[in-house]
Amino acid sequence: MLKVINVAGARPNFMKIAPLVAAMKRRPSQFQSILVHTGQHYDANMSDAFFRDLGLPAPDIHLGVGSASHAVQSAAIMKAFEPVVLEQKPDWVIVVGDVNSTLACALVCGKLDIKVAHVEAGLRSRDRTMPEEINRLLTDQISDLLFTPSSDADANLIAEGIPPERIRFVGNIMIDSLSANLERAKGSKIQVELAVADKDYALLTLHRPSSVDDRESFIRILDALEQISARLPIVFPIHPRARKMLFEYGLSDRVEMMGGLLLIEPLGYLDFLNLMSGARVVLTDSGGIQEETTVLGIPCVTLRENTERPITVEMGTNTIVGTDPAKIVPATFSKLEKQIEKDQYCIPPLWDGHTAERIVDALIKQSAMSDY
């Protein structure tokens, strides 16, 4: 029996940890799963809604850390997580994605000589101004097993000197949650509630420091949104960070006044999946949404200068445009004009809804090898 601590902290972690917790619960004779929530995200609509929608059991341990600067938040997670690891003495700790909780918990394990596995390893934007890139680089260096979503991630790890025997290409864990919930998401009434019609609206998300913490780039994005919303309504579930920055920059009124922009609170997983599947185009600075739109075949315009998920551009429906309205607007309009046909994109290998099973199999195999 393997005792595994599964760690989740922020919104994009929940859809990655849920399939793993479920896969372990399906094998009670092989796994004892302990779910730890660091509390990095704590609002009802940034956290609780995801536990409900994804059928995640309540966390066994909640560290209640909350928001703070990077150093204070990371230190608080480490301080709270260390006694948990010392008490539980797990065989493995699993961390997912690239948020501060991911690195902080991996670092605790590295120092205590507890085995840690990183799910979604090897992605690189090569932009070290992104806090997530630092989290990705360091987590991968100290993890014992690296579960990668695509072959470019394997190549990145090898180039950084990670021994190949620590790397396992298992596919994209987030697509396990998407596949498991797509049918249920169709039952959401969110389009009716917002009075938008299928394939007749754009969906927007924004939260990265590079888009919203910089007043000039936020204004540039708003300029583009003004032009796009004159042609197509834009639904904008606004992240708390973006809302806070709009207010600080005195831009809230401008956004509230934009006729075609529908500003709403952040949505749960099923409502958001419903809106994403029904969108004519998605505009985003998120990483995960680039992947989800690729699998759904929905055109995606990424408002960033780079991506750690190049496979969504090479094989999928994604275009990287940055924050310049002169690029955002034509790229979006061109996606509106040309319908994407099924033969113009494909779903990357092993983004098939069975990644969690491959991961739990690999953990069992790896542990059997270490015992031997």
Active-site amino acid positions: 207
Stretch that binds ligand UD1, among 49-57, 98-106, 192-200, 252-260 (CB under 6 A): 98-106
Smaller CB separation from ligand UD1, 10 or 296: 10
Shortest distance (Å) from residue 41 CB to ligand UD1 = 4
Stretch that binds ligand UD1, among 7-15, 19-27, 319-327, 352-360 (CB under 6 A): 7-15
Q: How far apart are CA 351 and CA 292, in angstroms?
A: 10
Smaller CB separation from ligand UD1, 289 or 363: 289
CA atoms within 13 A on the CB side of 237: 18
Q: Select the residue interacting with ligand UD1 from 7, 11, 78, 168 (CB under 6 A).
A: 11
Q: What are phi and psi of 200, to 5 degrees?
A: -130, 30
Q: Does 46 bind ligand UD1 (CB under 6 A)?
A: yes
Q: Select the residue interacting with ligand UD1 from 6, 33, 38, 40 (CB under 6 A).
A: 40
Shortest distance (Å) from residue 193 CB to ligand UD1 = 22
Shortest distance (Å) from residue 100 CB to ligand UD1 = 4
Smaller CB separation from ligand UD1, 16 or 335: 16
CA atoms within 13 A on the CB side of 77: 29
Sites for ligand UD1 among residues 172-211 (CB under 6 A): 207
Shortest distance (Å) from residue 47 CB to ligand UD1 = 6
Stretch that binds ligand UD1, among 42-50, 107-115, 136-144, 254-262 (CB under 6 A): 42-50
Q: How far apart are CA 251 and CA 291, in angstroms?
A: 30
Smaller CB separation from ligand UD1, 23 or 282: 282
Q: Under a CB-based contact definition with an 8 Å cutoff, are residues 98 and 132 in contact?
A: yes
Smaller CB separation from ligand UD1, 52 or 244: 244
H/E segment holding residue 147 = strand 145-148
Query: How is the chain split among helix, strand and coil, in percent rounded to 5?
Result: 50, 15, 35
Q: Under a CB-based contact definition with an 8 Å cutoff, are residues 75 and 65 in contact?
A: no
Joined together, the tokens standing for residue 248 give 């600080």
Angle formed at CA 278 by CA 273 and CA 284, multiple of 5 degrees: 65
Q: How far apart are CA 150 and CA 348, in angstroms?
A: 8
- Rounded CA Rg of the chain: 20
Q: Select the residue interacting with ligand UD1 from 6, 12, 81, 355 (CB under 6 A).
A: 12
Q: How far apart are CA 279 and CA 276, in angstroms?
A: 5
Shortest distance (Å) from residue 102 CB to ligand UD1 = 8
Q: Select the residue interacting with ligand UD1 from 88, 100, 318, 366 (CB under 6 A).
A: 100
Q: How far apart are CA 66 and CA 100, in angstroms?
A: 11
Q: What is the DSSP letter of 8?
A: E
Q: Select the residue interacting with ligand UD1 from 30, 42, 184, 260 (CB under 6 A).
A: 42
Sites for ligand UD1 among residues 128-167 (CB under 6 A): 131-132
Smaller CB separation from ligand UD1, 102 or 294: 102
Shortest distance (Å) from residue 244 CB to ligand UD1 = 5
Smaller CB separation from ligand UD1, 79 or 89: 79
Q: Which residue in the block uniquely carries the two structure tokens 């595994």? A: 4
Q: Does 67 bind ligand UD1 (CB under 6 A)?
A: yes
Sites for ligand UD1 among residues 218-277 (CB under 6 A): 239-241, 244
Shortest distance (Å) from residue 343 CB to ligand UD1 = 32
CA atoms within 13 A on the CB side of 321: 27
Q: What are phi and psi of 129, to 5 degrees?
A: -80, -10
Q: Under a CB-based contact definition with an 8 Å cutoff, are residues 14 and 101 in contact?
A: no
Q: Which residues bind ligand UD1 (CB under 6 A)?
A: 10-12, 40-43, 46, 67, 98-100, 131-132, 207, 239-241, 244
